[in-house]
Copies of this chain bind each other. A is one copy, B any other.
Amino acid sequence: MYTAPVLIAGEWRQAAECGRFQPTNPSTANTIDRTYPVSNWSDCDSALDAAGAAANTLKKVPAESRSRFLELYADAIEASADELCALAHEETGLPLEPRLRSVELPRTTGQLRAAAQAARDHSWTRATLDTTANIRSMHAPIGPVMIFGPNNFPFAFNGVAGGDFAAAIAAGNPVIAKAHNAHPGTCLKLAKLAFQALMDADLPLATVQLLFGIGREDGCRMMADKRLGAGTFTGSRRAGLALKQAADKVGTPFYAELSSINPVVMLPGALREHGEALAGEFALSCLMGTGQFCTNPGLVVVPANNDGELFIARCGELFDSTEPGTLLSAGTQQGLQRAIAQLREAGATLATNSTPVNEPRFCIPNTLLTVRGSEFLSSPEAFQTEAFGNAALMVISESTEQTADILRSLEGNLTGCIYSASDGTDDQRYEIIEPILRGKVGRLLNDKMPTGVAVSPAMNHGGPFPASGHPGFTAVGVPASVVRFSKLDCYDNVRPHRLPPLLQDENPLNAWRSVDGNWTREPI
């Protein structure tokens, strides 16, 4: 049986394997006729060695070569868009249009190009010069980065093409990507394009490596390996915490995105003014991608009044009348069913028709649950169970004070939204709840659903634990996301000709630098 090769040390080779797997087409529940290897430790070990060597070589390569690689790669992805989208659709069930072809693929190439720009303009290095003390510092590559991509973005968060990948490369680090088991064919095709782009840009060929399966123990062993500079993980809390623990033990920076239910607060005036429109906005956001977004609005706080009741009823109708999307995998479906069962056991009640969908694909009915605020507060942990997919929980709050208590009981989240009246009648309520929500989330929104995550220098796709592992970093947005993959390099009294160009008096790279407390692009 043909098994796909892994990419290690600049070679496509048969894995040193300890198992094999085949992905499943979520739209048919049929096994896809392609086989991928589970690598054993010797593959991991070889990849770490090769990545270490590539990291050293990359230090001597001009930043422009990294930019060129990222741009050639983006071009290649666009040129192969049809094939990539067909593969990704087959493996994830995500709609070809607009999702994969018109949204996620352009986003991915946009991220690669933004990272190319950051590599070129050196904005992520935050060069800082103290001319009096003759001390100079800048952020510099951290070393090989291991990336575990998630199941829900086959392009934009892919370990071998997504935001973490682009950021790690922009900072001058080689990447070891672990393909997600659910879409290995997409990963393989992307890695082939990346490999060609590496050759065309004349970068070390081990700058990008790809493994398919690896055992959980080997994953932890890699994270604890001294040859690794940093790790990232986007996915389930349990798997992420095991990797994080391994990395933390040896002080290796590990950026994890573990879970988020993205609270939305509907203040009374907002629903009074345009509750019906907001129901449409919410349903669209919540069911988009079958609800399988990190920033999916999974918890909505609604006032206990007539407007609130109408809003919930309208959302329920929209959920019932919208065709349920396909879920990414059997595991996603099981996890979602389990989470809904847990929420119902805790006391949430159904606000939608839950007739099972009788189709040979992975899906469940769009599901809306409700719970009274007092009940939520009696077991806030249970009601924060993440239902990853096309489901959400509405919490009916008796008062602004109760809403404040509900927000106080929340764990860290990626986003938090507040909808309020346009005429200022909610402003007092806003002032009470905003500071509480602000402390719990990375990104605070007004009058807007959280599912759009713009690739902006000002974006924060991160937040307090467990949304992420460190609330000071973002996984989306350039140059901030690039800084995650850096170490701070200080030069004290180093002779001028030995300084990196970024820190030389003449500023030969024309970069923004903080010189004696002022940001400037001028030479000294």
Q: Interface of A with B (CB < 8 Å)? A: 56, 59, 121, 123, 128-130, 133, 135-137, 139-140, 142-143, 244-245, 248-253, 412, 415, 430, 434-435, 438-439, 442-448, 450, 454, 456-460, 462-466, 468-474, 480, 483-484, 486-495, 498, 512, 514, 516-520
Contact = CB atoms under 8 A, between A and B. Distances in A.
A133 B438 contact: no
B493 A130 contact: no
B517 A488 contact: no
A514 B457 contact: yes
A139 B415 CA distance: 16
B488 A445 contact: no
Nearest to A139: B472
B458 A136 contact: yes
A251 B492 contact: no
25 contacts: A56-B435, A59-B435, A128-B458, A128-B480, A130-B456, A133-B454, A135-B454, A136-B458, A140-B438, A250-B465, A251-B466, A251-B469, A251-B470, A442-B489, A443-B490, A443-B491, A444-B492, A446-B493, A448-B492, A457-B516, A457-B517, A460-B490, A464-B487, A512-B518, A519-B519
Given A135-B456, A435-B56, A498-B434, A488 B462 contact: yes
A88 B492 CA distance: 30
Q: Chain B CB within 10 Å — which of A136, A140, A488 has the most?
A: A488
A430 B460 CA distance: 41
Given A130-B457, A251-B464, 10 more contacts: A56-B435, A135-B454, A136-B458, A139-B472, A251-B469, A430-B498, A442-B489, A444-B490, A446-B495, A519-B520
B460 A488 contact: yes
Contact of A494 (B415, B445, B462): B445
A466 to B, nearest CB: 6
Given A142-B471, A245-B248, A493 B445 contact: yes
A365 to B, nearest CB: 31
A458 B251 contact: no
A380 to B, nearest CB: 12
A483 B472 contact: yes
Q: Chain B CB within 10 Å — which of A130, A140, A412, A456 has the most?
A: A456
Contact of A458 (B129, B512, B520): B129
Nearest to A256: B251
A59 B436 CA distance: 11
A135 B458 contact: yes
